[in-house]
Structure 1
Amino acid sequence: YYRKKNIPGGDARNPLGSRWIGFDALGTAGRTYGLHGTNRPGSIGYSASAGCIRLANPTIERLYEKVDIGSKIFIVNEHRSFQAIAKEAGLIN
């Protein structure tokens, strides 16, 4: 649900769309920042949220099925490849 305005999940007014994947940024335990859908797909790609990453509902629904609770994530502003970033982070050789 959308806490700020107490809008339940699944409600067409919910700006978080159909799914929420929260992550523990700045000690927020996944309750403040996340990846989510949107009820306004035209807003994707614009600075219209409070630090979240908005995706089309079908995209977040597919991702939601693949991400396990407790998965580690990296959010970067990079032009390097995923492989180069993962190698630098010690995730691959």
Structure 2
Amino acid sequence: MNRVELSAQIIERKALRYTPAGLPALDLVLAHESEVTEAQQSRQVKLELRAVALGPMAELLNRMDAGKPFRLTGFLGAPRNGRGVLLHITDIHDIV
């Protein structure tokens, strides 16, 4: 299974573009911060993650204010250059 649920905020957004099939696509950088428990120890987690959204999700995220927290669902894939990890956003929940 490849499913990600994350709270995040947009810290960088590229210009809305269109795929060869005509779908809107938006490249983003997200920031996440939380506290988790690992091996019975509390741990602070802070990260930045590259993400992409397609179709109506791209249009919605293009209108959202940067820095506004939201929860998302998606899956992990490889970016076009094949290096690192890219989060594909499929749904947004609880826009605060």
TM over 0.5: no
TM-score, normalization: structure 1?
0.31
Q: Please identify which structure carries the higher helix content.
A: 1
Q: Please identify which structure carries the higher strand content.
A: 2
